[in-house]
Structure formats: structure tokens, C-alpha cells
Amino acid sequence: MPAAQPTSSDVSGFSTLPKPLASRLNKLGLFREADLVLHLPLRYEDETQVSPIAGAPLGVSAQVEGVVLSCEVGFRPRRQLVARIADETGELTLRFLNFYPSQQKQLAEGARVRVFGEIRGGFFGHEMVHPRVKTVREGEALPAALTPVYPTTAGLAQSALRKLIDRAMKQISLADLLPEALRKSLRLPEFERSVRALHHPQPGMSITALEDRTHPAWRRIKFEELLAQQLSLRKAYAARRARRAPVLRGSGALSGPLLASLPFALTSAQQRAVDEIARDLGTPHPMQRLLQGDVGSGKTIVAALAMLQAAEAGWQAALMAPTEILAEQHFRKLDAWLTPLGIKVAWLAGSQKKKAREAALAMLASGEALLAVGTHALIEDPVAFPKLGLAVVDEQHRFGVRQRLALREKYEGSDSPLPHMLMMSATPIPRTLAMSFYADLDVSVLDELPPGRMPIVTKLVADTRRDDVVARVRDACREGRQAYWVCPLIEETEGGGDSGRGGKGRDREALQLQTAVETCERLTAELPELRVGLVHGRLKADEKAAVMDGFIRNEVQVLVATTVIEVGVDVPNASLMVIEHAERFGLAQLHQLRGRVGRGAAASACILIYSQPLSQTGRARLKVIYENTDGFVIAQEDLRLRGPGEFIGARQSGSALLRYADLEADADLVEAARTAAEELLARQPAAAAAILERWHGGRSEYLKA
């Protein structure tokens, strides 16, 4: 992925290059010679041998050599350059739909050329479309090694990139920075030997091992990439530990009465997380802890107890959620729990009326309200926290890095202590992913559900049986229960629905809204004895709140919704979840939506309606969600199907993606890199600094969010 913008020192190596060329390199994330050395091939082409034209394989890339018999510009069905070449075994047509005059000149009649490309069957015999062409002399020697093909951008030819990389490898040190004992213990080759092997594979090297990245040279590069990432994250962790934070020691004066008033006892996992967080809050260093747990594992009460610990110490706490529905659910729950204790909770959201907003801001500014709950409205400029001791961010992966840090950054550069930060996620994170991307965080895991939670039965139903599903909804509501009916995403994308941005995102949202409105009208007609409500992202806040209130009070029996109800909605009486076009949803969304039911004592079910034909990806997702209810198992499968960048939303958040390492295939290297990073920072800081410089230069992005 493209690197961060460089400092002035980063571009010094490119100062002799023309600005347009340097700009193209920058688009690829290349700012220094070291970046060029680590810009490794996507694949390789075998130009070490020439096949006879008659014997060249079809459907795969091959190289042939021949003399040009003819070359002319044709106009049927469109303007194109067509040449014919021949050797002693046969003839081959070369076709160029887009071409330059120089190519026509290169293919002059009688010229000898080597062409590389895929041979296909055509109307007039075998042909290559847009092959790579090289003019040669008869008997000219063939390359001795495979030809690397690099990621590139418009206007930057492979040949130019190869020359720049070769020059860079001559100009900078390729010294081995790993301690010899560490390198040998992991059986890794030297760095210089590895990069040279990848840029210029020698005869006899397996092209398969090179392209599937299992060759020992790739193992070396992947380990060093993971090590640089771990070093960066551990340094960020250490830098935060050096900062000052308020010491929030709880007295139990508020948390004790709250626990006594609850109709349930904490699970052992919840108690463990509460103790871990309490211990962190009692230290003078900023906590940065991730609280992760499956749907319904009870994260909110853990966060509430942490916020009360801040209040007991005389400091304020704020909880920020990504959607107004989720934020309002948190506010309702906290307000109900804490108002009897004499704690005022301020509510802030973008849709608030001016008078209510000003009153909430005044309560926070005066310190009258020790707790605040809201959306991103909490991080807007007018909001002032005189003594913010704890910031809680729910569904943290839905916020960008800047948003997640904004609460804390109000205090950067000031003499005030830095607030502690607790991030919550209902998307369980596989162990290798957590080790790699969250090495700068402490992690608490809620790995058990509260007692009494009923298992949810998952059913797959073809859309041809939709009438049966409507009948099932009618039966559930006749028994006094309620149902959700979730409308489909418009295209198969995890980020679709109400979160879309830009023109295409708005188009998807409009289509989804139209589908939701039509579904609501149809269900209202099919279920006249029931009240059907509709909630979606474009409803005004008061209208949305009215529908949700009606559903909570069972005045609305069937709630038709877009994915705005994916998180945060807690209605124990709802026992049936219907998801249309379930094949269009990601695994995380399906699991979250399914978790909206099963919250009461009644048996609950989730019906996934799918359309035929199913794509291979859609079939794989539905199989996983049908066979598993454990969020951690589902998360591991999601990681396998989607990859780490998509799983954690790294492309949206700005976190650095790994370019070469694969968290599933290279799990052993993740573990080794984590251990090695701690060892190097403790015992060989100079080696650690040199590795960070090689991989990140002066622009190392500590993943502090």
C-alpha cells in the first residue's frame, strides 16, 4: 500500500530524478532508494527460452521468435495494428488495439522480433493480443534469469522500474540487520541474498515457490516486515507509557450500589476484564485497552463500571459510538443504571435541538455531568471536558484513526494529563490478527456469554419460500413475540448499506431505502393484523426514536430495517430475525444481526433468505454462519475469506497494511516477530532502530489508534 507522506529527508534519494518520475514513484509509496529495494515483484515471466510457433502452448504466456511477414493498420471492426510473423514451424498473428507509430515501425517487414504473451485461437489462426515485442538479431542470447513484473502505475514502464531498482541496490547498504543468532534460529537466509534472489531469480529457482511466496527468500522478507511492524507498535506502546495520565482509583461508592442493583451477576470473564481495566486506570500512564467480546457478552456493563471508577475519582468519562441508534441505546441503559445513583449523564448527538445541546454542553463544561454519551458530536470543537479521565470508543473499527484519537488529542500538547482510552469491539479478532495489528494495545476478552442466553437457531431458506417465512413471522407475533426483517445490501460488499459515502454510496443507500420502503408496504399488506414499523438511516432522529420506542414497547411487532440496527439494538422480546439476500452480507454483519435476537428467555431463530444462483463467496459465507455461532470461529473464517486489511477496516482507518506477510500462512512468523521485537528493543536498540529505518524511514506510523 502507499506509505505515509514523507519528510524532506525521505525524498533526498530521488532528488536527481525528474519530478514527473519521482511523482509516479511516490504514488507507489516509494520515496527513497530503500523503498525501491523493498518494492518486490508480483510475479515473474519466463523469457529464458523460446518456443517454436507451432509448438507454443495455448492459453498461457510464452515467448516465440520470428521474422515479420507483414504489418498493416486495419479498420474492421475498429482501428488496429495487425502483424504476422513466422519461423520455420509456422505463423502467428500479432494484434494491437491501441498502438503507437513507434510500434508500427518496430514491426517493419523483415525485422526479427521476440514476442511474449498469451497465444489464443482467433478467426484467422493463432494470435497474440498486445504482446511485448523486442527487436533482436538472429542468435541473440536469451536472458539468464526470470523477468520480474512489479506493481506499477500509469506512465511508469516495467523496464524503467527495473533499472531504478537495480540502481538502488548498488547505491545503498544491503547489510544484514538481524542478529546472527536470531537469523540462524529461524533458519532465514541473509537479507542481501534474499532481495537479490527475488529481484533476479537464478536459473533453477522454482517459479511456483517465488509466486506463491513460500521460497526461503520470501520468508526472510516477510519476517523482517512483521518485525518492523512489531517494533513500531511496541515503540508506540512505550511512548504512551512515558506520558502522564490521571490516576483513577475507585472507591466502590458508585460501582458497589450499581452491581447490587443489577438483576444479574457478572460472569467470570466480565469480572476479569473489570479487574484488568481497574488496574490500568489506577496507574499514572494512559491506558490503551481493547475490550473485545462476542455479541451479547456484556461489554456495556464493563464499560459502565470503568466510567464509574473515573467518576469516583472525580474525573469525567465519555462514551462515543458510531451511530445515533447505538449511542442512544447506550445512553438509555447508562441513564437507567446511573440516575438512581445521582450521576448525571449528558447526551450529545448531531440531530439534537440547539437548546438541548447547549444544556448538555453546559453540564459538561461545569463538571455537573461526569459522564457523556454520544456520536462523533462528542469530538467537535465546542465540546469541552474540564477533567476528561476516560474515553470509551464503541465499535472502534467503524471510526477512522483521526476520529478515534480526537477525544484524546484535545489534550495533546497541553499540561493536562492524557485521558485513558478503552476501545470496545463486538467483532472478535483472531489471535494472529490481534498479535499483528494490536501489538500496541492491551486486550481484554469476554469469552463467555451471560447465563440464560438462549441459543439461536439459524435456518437457510431460498427466496422461493418467502411466503413460508412471512407465515413464521405471523406465528411468532401471535405468540406475543416480535421480529426484525432486514433489507438487503444493494451489492456484495461489507461496507455497503447506510455507511456508503460518495456518489455510488448514496446511490446504494437510496436503492436500499427504496427496497426497505417496498418491503414495509408489502409486509403491512401481508400481515394486516400486525403493526409494521420502518427504520433506516435517512429518518429524522425523532422519527427514528419514535419507531424504536414503539418496538421496545411492543406497539410495533415487526421492524423492517436497513443495517442501521446491526449494532446496539437490545429488545429481549424480539425472537425472530429475517435477513433478505443474506448472501450479500459479510460474515461480521450476519453475526451482528443475528445477535439482535436471543436476548430474552424465548427460543430464537435467524432466517437467512438467499437467492440463486449463489456465488462461491456467498455460498462459503452462508456455510460458515449456518454451521457456527461462536464469534471467534466466525472471525477466523472471515479473516481467511477476506484478509486482514478488509477484516479490520484498515483501508478505511489508515492503518498500515502488511504488503507481503500473510497472517494465516505465516502465523509462526507473527509469533516469532513479536518475541524478537521485545528482545531487540530491550537488548539491541540500535538494531531495532536500523530495521525501522529500512522499512519505515522517517515516517514510521505508530498505529496508536
Say if residues 134 and 113 touch (Cβ distance below 8 Å): yes
Quote the CA–CA distance of 561 and 265 in Å, as a whole number: 33
By C-alpha distance, which of 431, 442, 438, 444 is closest to 703? Answer: 438
Tell me: the pLDDT tens digits for 495-504? 333 333 344 4
Residues in the chain: 705
Q: Give burial (CB, 10 Å; 0-12/13-18/19+) of 412.
A: exposed
Residues 6+ apart with CB under 8 A from 388: 315, 316, 317, 318, 407, 410, 411, 419
pLDDT at 510: 60
Could you give the C-alpha distances from 249 to 260, 344, 479, 582, in angstroms and in order? 20, 20, 49, 47
Three-state secondary structure readout of 474-543: HHHHHCCCEEEEECCCCCCCCCCHHHCCHHHHHHHHHHHHHHHHHHHHHHHHHCCCCCEEEECCCCCHHH
Contact in structure between 346 and 366 (CB atoms under 8 Å): no
* Cα three-residue angle 148-154-157, rounded to 5 degrees: 35
Helix 587-594 vs helix 616-627: crossing angle, to nearest 10: 40
Bridge partner residues of 93 (DSSP): 84, 127
Look at the alpha carbons of 679, 684, 688, 691 in this order and tell me if their dihedral is positive or negative.
negative
Q: What is the pLDDT of residue 154?
A: 87
Cβ contact 542:303 at 8 Å: no
Going by C-beta distance under 8 Å and a sequence separation of 6 or more, which residues neighbour residue 426? 292, 293, 294, 295, 297, 299, 395, 567, 592, 595, 631
Q: Which of 315, 268, 328 is nearest to 287 (CA)?
A: 315
Main-chain phi, psi angles of 671, to 5 degrees = -60, -45
The DSSP bridge partners found for residue 128 are 94, 119
Which residue in the block uniquely carries the three cell numbers 437457510?
460
Among residues 411, 427, 429, which one has the least CA distance to residue 419? 411
Structural domains for the chain: 10-43+151-212 (no CATH), 49-142 (2.40.50.140), 225-242+664-699 (no CATH), 255-446 (3.40.50.300), 456-628 (3.40.50.300)
Instruction: Report helix, strand or coil for 410.
Output: coil
**Burial class of residue 233 (count of CB atoms within 10 Å of its CB; 0-12, 13-18, 19+):** buried
Question: How far is it, in rounded angstroms, from Cα 590 to Cα 566?
Answer: 9
Residue type for position 681: L
Distance CA(213)–CA(195), nearest Å, equals 13
Per-residue pLDDT at 567: 55
Calpha distance 477→480 (Å, rounded): 5
- Backbone region of residue 450 per phi and psi (left: phi > 0; alpha: psi in -120 to 50; beta: other values): beta
141 CB-near residues (< 8 Å, 6+ apart): none
* Cβ-Cβ contacts under 8 Å for 440 (sequence gap 6 or more): 233, 234, 236, 237, 240, 288, 702, 703, 704
**Residue 74: helix, strand or coil by DSSP?**
strand
pLDDT less than 70: residues of the chain: 1-13, 379-381, 396-415, 431-432, 452, 489-513, 564-568, 642-657, 698-705
- For residues 560 and 532, give the distance between their C-alpha atoms in angstroms, rounded to a whole number: 7
What pairs with residue 8 in β-bridges?
none
Q: Distance between CA 495 and CA 649 in Å, rounded?
A: 9
* 529 grid coordinates: 393484523
Buried b / exposed e along 244-254 (16+ C-beta atoms within 10 A): ebbebebeeeb
How many CB atoms are closer than 10 A to CB 424? Answer: 22
Cα 222 → chain centroid: 20
What is the rounded CA–CA span in Å between residue 383 and residue 362?
9
The SS3 call for residue 112 is strand
Which residues does residue 120 pair with via DSSP β-bridges, in sequence order?
127
Q: What pLDDT score does 327 carry?
A: 86
Grid cell 412471512 in the structure block, residue? 470
pLDDT tens for each residue of 444-493: 988 887 776 777 999 999 999 999 999 999 999 999 999 999 987 543 33
Whether the CB-CB separation of 565 and 422 falls below 8 Å is answered with no
Q: Is 82 helix (H, G, I), strand (E, B) or coil?
A: strand
What value does the mean pLDDT of the chain take? 85
Q: Are strands 288-293 and 442-446 parallel, antiparallel or unpaired?
A: parallel
481, HSE (Cβ side, Cα atoms, 13 Å): 22
Dump the DSSP string for 634-666. HHHHHHHHH-HHHHTTHHHHTPPPPSS--TTTT
Can you read off the three cell numbers belonging to residue 352?
Answer: 439534537
Q: Please give the Cα distance from 441 to 456 (Å, whole number).
A: 32
Residue 460's DSSP bridge partners are 608
Residue 456's CB: how many other CB atoms inside 10 A?
21
* pLDDT of amino acid 443: 87
The three three-digit cell numbers of residue 509, written as one number: 443507500
Q: Under a CB-based contact definition with an 8 Å cutoff, are residues 568 and 323 in contact? A: yes
For residue 194, the one-letter residue type is: S
What interhelical angle do 268-281 and 299-312 show, nearest 10? 30
Question: Which amino acid is located at 345 in the chain?
Answer: V
pTM (two decimals): 0.71
HEC profile for 561-592?
ECHHHCCCCCCCCEEEEEECCHHHCCHHHHHH
516 neighbors 560 (Cβ within 8 angstroms): yes
